[in-house]
Amino acid sequence: MRLTGDYRDLNLVTGWSPANPSNRTWVGAEVSFGNGYLDRLEHRKQYKGNISKVFTFGNHDLTVYAIGYYGTAFQPGLIPIDAPTPDDTIDARQHEETSNGTVIFNDVWHLTEHRQFQFSGFYRYYTLDVRPNFGDGLIRQSEHRNVNSEDVLYTDQFSKAVSLLAGVDFRREAPRALNLDNADPAGVFVPDTSNNLTINFYSPFGALDGKVFHVLHYNAGYRLDRVTMDNEDLLRPTLSFNRNATISSPKGTLTFLPPESTRFLPTVSLSYGQTFHVDDPRIGTTAVQGGTIVAKPRAYQLVASKTVAKTEFRLALAHVTTAQQLARISNDTGLQEDEGPGIVKYLTFTVRHNFPHGSVQGLFSKADARDRFTGEATPEAPRQIWDILATVDKLPFHLVARGQYEEVGRKPLGDGFTAVPVREFRGAVIRPFPSKGFDIGINTFIVSGYGGQTLETLSLPGEGSPFERITGFPLKSYVSASFTYYFRHR
């Protein structure tokens, strides 16, 4: 058991497994309470539980795994970044509550050392009740969802040059009472949209993997998805519909592995992939009824990596083409927003060096996201990120230190607005007392900027008519002392 707390938050984590390693059982639990660091206290409560058990029957390894979660909190929400807001919230009623539980079964049948079947399945139940206010009054988004999936997978390694993976996946998602409600002046929620959805996936797939000529590693796969969707509109029955689609998703990676004799050549990988997501149909617009229910992006990626003198270098270049989609639901109005088609390009460079008692890592990422037809910048897509992380595990007086600096640059928000940059420094100095079973630490968070920056049309009391402005949630700097106690058998 481990108990950690400061003056605003408290966290308890516990885990157990038997001393006999052949009894492959594990149980874990976590309880968290807290208020965050904004003036509007969150009164956050979170409960998590996990349990896992592995049974062996001959050539079969059967794993049973279960997860449970419940959380509730009052969220301060977004506020204008250009005006002081009492208590850091425009509506103290903003609240969210969610719970979910999952049971997973997985049986691995070892036919030979290099050949096996795998039979898997899971069931998940999920509920959500979120009540934000984005300037047009309090709204409520809620749903409860049942998801189940069954999979069959076969793998066979014929040689180092050829390995086969093939299988089929059946999945059903059933969101029920998928509702969007608006509060009237008396605070009573009035339904705006209400849908029952049933989405079925039937997906056979296959892949080949191997190494040829000692320097080339390949991976090629193909997945075929048959998707059916039944949308029952509970408020506007004439907008209900049943649709289906068939999607092909090829993927592949070719990697050059330089011989050991060529010391300065990097490892280089080139990848291509195509996938899809299902549009949100709850409004039942004409575009969804008359067009496809899926949007298909495709991506190309080039990655080069090399380790020199215990320093790792990694460069990634990517080009992603997105399709036109209707997946975004406005939290203000419940209406769909038409996004894309677009092109996303990015470059990420990472350097990491490991010391005997620590490490330092730096990251730089530059991106550009634009509409393919108009050339306009995609709103809210980050354009530039810096990140530096350092750890030292051996300092005088047995101290351990961590430090991180990150900067997210300006990004366009649309309509001529640009977000302010966000700069964060996190630091911690910890003194472990292993013989006594506890740690003490000093934690620092120094920040400027706002998280979740977006555009909202709202006004504060005394400002008159609403107008469009940048909103976000304020990031607060703090210094806190923490105490961690480890409960152990003597």
Q: What is the pLDDT along the chain (490 residues), one digit of tens a residue?
A: 888 887 888 999 999 998 888 889 999 999 999 998 889 999 999 999 999 999 999 999 999 999 999 999 998 999 999 888 889 999 999 999 999 999 999 999 999 999 999 999 999 999 999 999 888 889 999 999 999 999 999 999 999 999 999 999 999 999 999 998 999 888 899 998 899 999 999 999 999 999 998 899 999 999 999 999 998 989 989 888 888 899 999 999 999 999 877 778 999 999 999 998 887 666 544 444 455 678 888 999 999 999 988 899 999 999 999 887 655 555 445 555 666 788 999 999 999 999 989 999 999 999 999 988 888 888 888 889 999 999 999 899 999 999 999 999 999 988 889 999 999 999 999 999 988 888 999 999 999 999 989 888 887 777 888 888 999 999 999 998 888 888 765 4
Read off the amino acid at residue 399.
L
The pLDDT value recorded for residue 336 is 56
Distance CA 53, CA 126 (A): 23
CB burial string 392-426: b at 16+ within 10 A, e below: beeeeeeebbbbebbbbbebbbeeeeebbebbbbe
Structure tokens at 391: 């750890």
The H or E element containing residue 287 is helix 286-290
The pLDDT value recorded for residue 285 is 47
Omega within 30 of 0 (cis) for the link into 341: yes
The pLDDT value recorded for residue 83 is 87
- pTM (two decimals): 0.84
The pLDDT value recorded for residue 481 is 87
Who's near 298: CB < 8 A, 6+ residues apart?
272, 273, 274, 275, 320, 321
For residue 338, the enclosing domain spans 2-486
The pLDDT value recorded for residue 312 is 95
Integer-rounded Cα Rg, in Å, for the chain is 26
The pLDDT value recorded for residue 341 is 83
Phi-psi region of 142 (alpha: psi -120 to 50; beta: other; left: phi over 0): beta
Domain at 117, CATH number? 2.40.170.20
The pLDDT value recorded for residue 327 is 53
Distance CA 177, CA 198 (A): 12
* Domain count for the chain: 1
How many Cβ atoms are within 10 Å of 242's Cβ, its own excluded? 10
Residue 266 · residue 316 · CB < 8 Å: no
The pLDDT value recorded for residue 352 is 97
DSSP one-letter string for 201-250: EEEEEEEEEEEETTTEEEEEEEEEEEEEEEEEESS-GGG-EEEEEEEEEE
Residue 231 · residue 189 · CB < 8 Å: no
The pLDDT value recorded for residue 227 is 94
The pLDDT value recorded for residue 13 is 93
The H or E element containing residue 121 is strand 115-131
The pLDDT value recorded for residue 286 is 41
Please report the sign of the dihedral spanned by the C-alpha atoms of residue 235, residue 337, residue 76, residue 9. positive
The H or E element containing residue 408 is strand 400-408
What phi and psi, each to the nearest 5 degrees, are found at residue 238? -70, -15
